Each structure stands twice: as C-alpha cells, then as structure tokens.
Chains A and B, each alone.
Chain A
Amino acid sequence: MTKHHRHLWAGLGLGALLSFSAPVMADELVAALKGAEVGVSTYDMLKAINSNVASTLIYDPLIEQNANHGYVPALAESWEEAPDGLQWTFHLKKGVKFHNGVDFNAQAVADWLAMFKGTDFEYYLGAVKEIVVVDDYTIRLDMTRPDPNLLYNLSTPFGGVMEPGARKADGENYGLTAAVGTGPYKLESFAVGQETVLVRNDDYTWGAANATNTGPANIERIRLREIGEASTSFLELQTGGVDMLLGVPQEFLSEAAKLPNVKLMTMPDQEIWYLVMNVTAAPFDDIRVRQAAALAVNRQAIKDNLYGGAGNTPSTFMISSLPEEKVADQFRIKFDLDKAKALLDEAGWVAGADGIRAKDGQPLKITLWTQSDSNFRRVTEVIQAQLKDAGFAADILTFDSATIRDQYKAGTHQAAVRSYFYDSATILDWFFGGDRLGYPNISMFNDPKAEELRKVAMTGSKTGEEFTKNFIAYHEYILSQFPFAPIYEPVGNIAFNADRVIMPETINSPVFQRAAIMDLKLAN
C-alpha cells in the first residue's frame, strides 16, 4: 500500500466516522430542555411525575393560561361555573381530531377523565361527583364541593387530553412509543433521557388564542435534547449543536451574551426563593424575631449582586404575576434593617461587642439549613451575612435534596433557605396547611385563624373572584405572622441562535411552552 493509499483510507475512515453524526436539518429546531424539565420518563400524563415543553405540544388541555395566569379557551371554547360552584360546564370546540384521526368530542373527554380513577392523580378530580356528557360537544362536571384547583389542574400539562383508545391500546408502551393528543405536534420518537422528536401536525387549526398563530405550527420538526450538565449545553449552543437553550443558568449568562449570533431573552418563571422559619423552635417562636429576620433580608442586594439585576424582589410568598399576590401594601415584607434591630431590642436580644445579640447569656445563634447545590450555598451564605447585620449568628448546615426533606419531618430545624416552583395560590395550602407539618409545612405554622381562612379559600370559593379574594385574605394573614421571608424571584433565561431562530415579539403564556413555539419561526 502506498503512502497515498494510506491517506485515502484514513480519510475515508474519518469520513465514515463523522458520517455517523446526526445531520442538522434546515427545517428542524434543536433545543436543549431546561434543567428542571430534564428527566421526563413518559408522555403518559397520568403516569408522569414531571413534564416538559413537549407535553404541551403533543396534548392540548381544555383551557390554557395566558401570561397573567388568566384562563383562555383551548379545546373548550367556553365554560361556565354554577353560582354555588357545584357544577362546571365545558363547551368543546368542533372539528378537532386526535393525531390518530379519532374525533375529539365530549365522550372522549369523559373517557379521558374516567382514566384518572385509580391513578396517583385521582385527587385531581377528587371533588368531581359525576361526569355528564350533555351532548356531543358539551360536558358537565357535577361536584361534591367547590374545587379551587379544578381550572388550574385542567390547564397544566397534566391536564393535556389523551386519546383514551390509544392509551388503552398501547398499554405499558403508551407515553414511550406513542402519545396521542390533539396538539400541534405529533410524537415521532422518544429516547428516554436523551431526546424527544416531534413532527408538525399539519391538520392543526384549533390552537388556543394565547398564540397569534392558531395552527399549523411554523416549524416542521422539533428535537428536544436532554442535557443535564449546564456546561455541556452551553458548549452545544456555542458549536451549533443546538439552536436554543430553554434554560440558561445564571453563571453562564455573561458568557452566552458574548457569543456571536446568540441572543438572550427572559421569561417570567414560576419560582420563589424564601427563608422559612420554624415557628415552634426558639428563637423563631417569638414573632418579633421572625419579623426581624424577614426584614433583615435585603432582596435588592441579592438580586443585584448575585443575579446581575435580573429577576424580581418578591415581598410575598407568591410569584408576582398571580392575582393572589396583590396583597395590601402593609402586609408586604420589605427590607428594613433599622426596624429589624428595633424588633430584636424589643424582644430582649441585646447587641454584643461583636454585633451578635444575646439574651439571658444565650447568643442569638441559629442553624440555617440548605441544600448542597452551588446556587443554594451561594444564596444561603448571603442570607447568613445579612442576618448577621441584624445580630444573628447563623451556622449553615448542608444536606442533599432528598435527605433534607426527611430531616424536616423530624421538626428539629430552625430555619432553612428553600425554593419552590408553582404558579397557583394553592401553594399556601401546601406549605402552610396545619395538617402538613414537617414536610411540606416546614415552618410548622399551625394557626387557628390561618386554618379558618385556609378552609374558606380551599373549599368555600365558588367563583374565580371569590377564589382570589379568599386567597388574598389567607395570604395576608400568613404574611402578618412571618413564618417565612421572601428572598428572590428568578426569571427564566433563554438563549437562542439568532441566525436560526426568529423569536416572537410577545409570548402570552406563563412559561416558554406551546404558545411560544406556535409563534416561533426558523430563519431560511
């Protein structure tokens, strides 16, 4: 073999190796899912524990949320609630078909709702007494009690309507090899832990009105890749391996901004960071100490110094876009170090020479629990420093995320830095309900008046207006008792290759999902 031949074979070998790489298609959007959406194990929404943007593209819900958390028609073109909250009637869109050609109608909805029984999500319809098919395109839910969560549950990805026949026929494989909804995209393939490939549903014309484009979608194929490691997904964006990152960690924002052709955009998120205090453990069994700690948290400094000015400075327990967040101003928790010090003085905690307060010879020492990832550590260290300014000596104790939940159940904690993702006011019931002490009620807050207000909000809200009013009252009371202090409300960061992706000017959905992708285009 001559030298020339050897080079030829080497070249062919390298060419063959590289040819195994997947081709990049011009009409295909490749996006890396955000960290919180990595790890979906099935698109059977009655089995899935978590969901990602693909769920919202395969399935349409009956109703959707817009950017202000108002409900807009999706598969239900309208709905009515009985004045006593004991009946909901949904009028369905006509001419809608599932991906397998089956007609979407009231019977399909009834059969889908019936499938909740016996699953871990049965409680979604816990207040539904009977599902009544009124006619082909009208369905009614008769309730045992008003359910404040019903509309919210129906609007989440888990409320995506699955074709009952397909789910039954595919059995255990449903959600893996097939997932049949009425959404703008059909499932082409799903490699668990790797990627989901979707192809456009060309018959789709019934999209919800929160997108400008009601169908079909502009992009023919979407490949959603699961890359758990943030450094890797950033390098993929840099090399053109992906067109979009649906989540960019804060630490990569400045680097991403430097990349040519890459643009950054922010979306509202569903996350709140907060300091929770155990109201049954000293020194936080004294409301003045809790209030002092809450007022010592300088949210603006955290936002500016840790997050480069991005995000919001919350003053309540909820994300700022929720109507139930709009509490009266006197209940909002705002930074006021002088008042914090005065409250501690009033409670008998006297500042020492080192700035740490003491009472009856005991220093104002607390243990601050946190989780092991770097973001938690960083925020907790800042909280530690800010509490010190008021006179607290805080030690940090770190756990992994699963262990810390077990530790909370023991009730021995004093305070912890935490975050949650949720976009409904019922989060108050979850974290402050008196019958959920330990976990998820980490504050151990169990107050008779709060329980009364909670009951009214959870079971006595007959209409949407009553729901908001009752939850504001419940929220204001919790704020007045200072079982927590808000810390930070992040925004979702999205990075995209502007040479490939044309982003819509406005996105009218709470997070980047179906409505955003319907209006998204690829550059030619």
Chain B
Amino acid sequence: MLGFIIKRSLLLIPVFFAASIVAFLLIHLVPGDPVDSLLTVGSPPEQRQILTERYGLDKPLVVQYGIWIWGVLQGDLGTAIIMRRPVADLMADALPHSIALGASAFIFYTVIGVSLGVTAAIFRDRWPDRAIMTGVLFGSTLPSFWLGLLLMLVFSVWLGWLPVSGARGASSLVLPVLTIGLGGTALVARITRVAMVETQRKDFVMLLHAKGMHPLRIQLLRVLHHALIPVVTILALRIGFVLGGAITVEVVFARPGIGTLLIRGIMQHDYPVVQACLLMLSTAVILGTFLGDVLQALMDPRARASLT
C-alpha cells in the first residue's frame, strides 16, 4: 500500500506543473490588460509604459511564468496588481470562509444524500423511492442563483428566521449551505441509490437472504458497505470542488471566499490573484483525486491491484 501511495504521489508532480501552466496561460491569453484598471483619468500617456514595466508585464510570457512559478515553489504567490496586497494574504482571508461553507455543504449533502439514496434503494420502485428520486431530480435542476434567492425570500423575508446575507455568525451560513447542499444531495443520493441497487443484485446478497439474515441488516451492513466504494470515490473527487464550487452562492449571499476573490481577479485581470486561485483550486482537485484513489484502494483490494 505504501508503494502505491508513493507511486501515486510522484505522479502528482508533473500534473501540478501542467496545472500551473494552464492556470498561468488562461488569464494571460484572454484579452484584457491589468494596466487598464490602474490608469486613471489625468495620468500622463507614458504612465502605461511605466506601469507595464513596474509590474513586469513587458517581459516575455515564458519569463513571467518562470518568475511566478519559482516564487510559488518558494511559497511566494506574488502581490496582487490591482488589489495591492500579497496574494497569500488575500487567500488567507478568503480561505476560511470558503472552507467553512464548502465543508459544511459537503457534510450536509454527504449525510443527507447517502441517507436518501439508501432509503430509496431499500424501498426500490415503491413510493418512497419515487418521491425521493423526484425530489432529487427537482433539486439537481434548480440553478443555485435562483435557489439562493428563493431561500432568502422564504427564510429571511417571509419567516424572518435567518439573515439575508453576509458572513457574520453561524446563522449566516445556513442558507448558503442549503443552496449548495441541495444540489450536492441530488448527486450523492442518485449515486448511492444506483450503487445500492447494483449491489443488491450480487450473489452474496442472495446468499445472505437465503441464510435468513434480517433484510435491513443486509442492506445497512453489507450492501451499503459495498455500495459506498463508488460513493466515496465521487465524494473524494468533490473535495476539490469544496473550495471553488460556491462561486455563485458566494456572490448571491455577499460572502467572501475564494470564488469571490477569483471573480474579482478575473474582472480586473489581476494576474497574480487569478493564477494563484486557479492553481489552488486545481491543486485541491488533484489532491481530492489522489485521496479518492487511496480510499478506493484501501476499501477495495481489487481496485488497488488495478491501479498499481
């Protein structure tokens, strides 16, 4: 198992560099120039050149990438051109908010999604299954922007239970978590149900029934154990999206976070901010995938053999 983890870890290095190149090129190749945002009315015409040189934007792209990635490897993400602060500080401010929101939503849709999926599978083709799957289909099709506003209207305006927006206190987290969580719940519930239903058809399940084991014990102890393997893999992959999967929700609920930071960076062409955010989000996805592989290998020896 250790050899497997080491091999997989080494593979992460080229993937990380490939992601860094993509993150760097994405913002540099789209039209737009951060200097345009820095120039204000009254600045002399030569100010453009002064600022371009000051921020190293006159250098060839390869050189700019080299300077940036060398800094990143040394722990220096650079200084935001427009936001005027070290990017690491900006991310340190934003990250706790994104983690709080993303992790809460993750826990919410994991617990609720798995529970609903299991219930649907146990009551397969009966009314609880149909009701859950209809609800799940509905939940997965609601745009988060619209759902967020709807939840605000119900819980903040009509009922007055929760604050409309902001990031002050635990109560301000409830509606954003619900907004993200309902979409995630739909995915997890469907995957859990499919995996459960497939496992229910396995021979060993028939054998357990033949041996007279209680059907509920079979479902919750044996079937769920096997069915969780693909669910855990999918959930591990989603860890990467915990940080960056809430961009719309952050905007609607006026919450700070990595998503909001990234959007501001893109709008202003603040290269160091966009590069760092994209690199961090892609690194999170890479690590999530790695974690998914490791968990899958731990849970299923057959998978370990095929992955090595």
User: Does B associate with A?
Assistant: yes
Interface residues of A (CB under 8 A from B): 17-18, 20-22, 39, 41-42, 44, 47-49, 120, 123-124, 126, 149, 152-153, 172, 176, 191-195, 225-229, 231-233, 235-236, 238-239, 241, 401-403, 405-407, 422, 424, 426-427, 429-430, 433, 435-436, 439-440
Contact B171 A49 (CB under 8 A): no
Contact A406 B32 (CB under 8 A): yes
Convert B115-158 into 0s and 1s, putting 1 for each residue whose CB lies closer than 8 angstroms to a CB of A.
Answer: 00000000000000000000000000000000001001100110
Distance in Å: Cβ of B96 to nearest Cβ of chain A: 11
* Ranked 4 nearest A-B pairs via Cβ: A402-B32, A20-B169, A406-B31, A20-B170
- Which residues on the A side are within 8 Å of B164 (C-beta)? 232, 235-236, 239, 241
Convert B1-19 into 0s and 1s, putting 1 for each residue whose CB lies closer than 8 angstroms to a CB of A.
Answer: 0000000000000000000
Contact A176 B85 (CB under 8 A): yes
CA distance in complex: A192, B174 (Å): 22
Distance in Å: Cβ of A277 to nearest Cβ of chain B: 21
Smallest Cβ-Cβ distance to A236: which chain B residue: B164
- Which residues on the A side are within 8 Å of B47 (C-beta)? 123
Distance in Å: Cβ of A24 to nearest Cβ of chain B: 10
Contact A406 B45 (CB under 8 A): no
CA distance in complex: A22, B170 (Å): 10
CA distance in complex: A226, B80 (Å): 20
**Which of chain B's residues 22-61 have a Cβ closer than 8 Å to chain A?**
30-33, 36-39, 41-45, 47, 51, 54
- Which residues on the B side are within 8 Å of A153 (C-beta)? 42
Contact B149 A231 (CB under 8 A): yes
Smallest Cβ-Cβ distance to B37: which chain A residue: A49
| Dominant secondary structure at the B interface | loop
| Interface assignment of B68: CB less than 8 Å from any CB of chain A | no
Contact A194 B166 (CB under 8 A): yes
Convert B247-282 into 0s and 1s, putting 1 for each residue whose CB lies closer than 8 angstroms to a CB of A.
Answer: 000011111100011001001110000000000000
Distance in Å: Cβ of B219 to nearest Cβ of chain A: 28
Contact B157 A235 (CB under 8 A): yes
- Which residues on the A side are within 8 Å of B202 (C-beta)? none
Contact B45 A42 (CB under 8 A): no
Contact B165 A241 (CB under 8 A): yes
- Which residues on the A side are within 8 Å of B261 (C-beta)? 193
Take A41-B84, A120-B51 as given contacts and tell me if A232 and B41 are in contact as well, using a CB distance cutoff of 8 Å.
no
| Interface assignment of B86: CB less than 8 Å from any CB of chain A | yes
Contact A229 B251 (CB under 8 A): yes
| Interface assignment of B286: CB less than 8 Å from any CB of chain A | no
| Interface assignment of B82: CB less than 8 Å from any CB of chain A | yes
Contact A49 B82 (CB under 8 A): yes
Contact A42 B85 (CB under 8 A): yes
- Which residues on the A side are within 8 Å of B149 (C-beta)? 231-232, 235
What are 18 inter-chain pairs, A to B, with CB distance below 8 A?
A17-B170, A41-B80, A120-B38, A149-B42, A172-B85, A193-B260, A194-B255, A195-B166, A229-B254, A232-B149, A232-B252, A232-B253, A232-B254, A238-B157, A239-B156, A239-B160, A402-B33, A402-B267
CA distance in complex: A241, B43 (Å): 40
Which single member of A229, A235, A422 contacts B41 (CB below 8 Å)?
A422
Smallest Cβ-Cβ distance to A238: which chain B residue: B157
Contact A433 B45 (CB under 8 A): yes
Which single member of A152, A192, A402 contacts B269 (CB below 8 Å)?
A402
Which single member of B41, B157, B169 contacts A21 (CB below 8 Å)?
B169
Smallest Cβ-Cβ distance to B255: which chain A residue: A194
Smallest Cβ-Cβ distance to B161: which chain A residue: A18
Take A153-B42, A236-B164, A403-B31 as given contacts and tell me if A20 and B171 are in contact as well, using a CB distance cutoff of 8 Å.
yes
| Interface assignment of B168: CB less than 8 Å from any CB of chain A | yes
- Which residues on the A side are within 8 Å of B230 (C-beta)? none
Q: A191-B167, A229-B252, A402-B30 are in contact. List 19 more A-B contacts (CB 8 A).
A: A20-B171, A41-B83, A44-B84, A49-B84, A124-B42, A126-B44, A193-B261, A193-B264, A228-B254, A229-B165, A232-B254, A235-B157, A239-B160, A402-B32, A402-B269, A406-B32, A426-B42, A427-B41, A440-B39
Distance in Å: Cβ of A26 to nearest Cβ of chain B: 18
Which single member of A193, A401, A407, A435 contacts B45 (CB below 8 Å)?
A435
- Which residues on the A side are within 8 Å of B76 (C-beta)? none
| Interface assignment of B300: CB less than 8 Å from any CB of chain A | no
CA distance in complex: A241, B161 (Å): 12
Contact A227 B165 (CB under 8 A): yes
Distance in Å: Cβ of B274 to nearest Cβ of chain A: 11
- Which residues on the B side are within 8 Å of A39 (C-beta)? 264
- Which residues on the A side are within 8 Å of B170 (C-beta)? 17, 20
CA distance in complex: A49, B80 (Å): 12
Smallest Cβ-Cβ distance to A405: which chain B residue: B36
Take A402-B32, A430-B42 as given contacts and tell me if A22 and B85 are in contact as well, using a CB distance cutoff of 8 Å.
no
Contact A123 B82 (CB under 8 A): no
| Interface assignment of B163: CB less than 8 Å from any CB of chain A | yes
**Which of chain B's residues 152-199 have a Cβ closer than 8 Å to chain A?**
152-153, 156-157, 160-172, 174
Which single member of B43, B162, B174, B256 contacts A193 (CB below 8 Å)?
B256
Contact B254 A227 (CB under 8 A): yes
Contact A41 B44 (CB under 8 A): no
CA distance in complex: A473, B235 (Å): 68
CA distance in complex: A433, B269 (Å): 25
- Which residues on the A side are within 8 Å of B54 (C-beta)? 120
- Which residues on the B side are within 8 Å of A435 (C-beta)? 45
Which single member of A191, A231, A424 contacts B256 (CB below 8 Å)?
A191
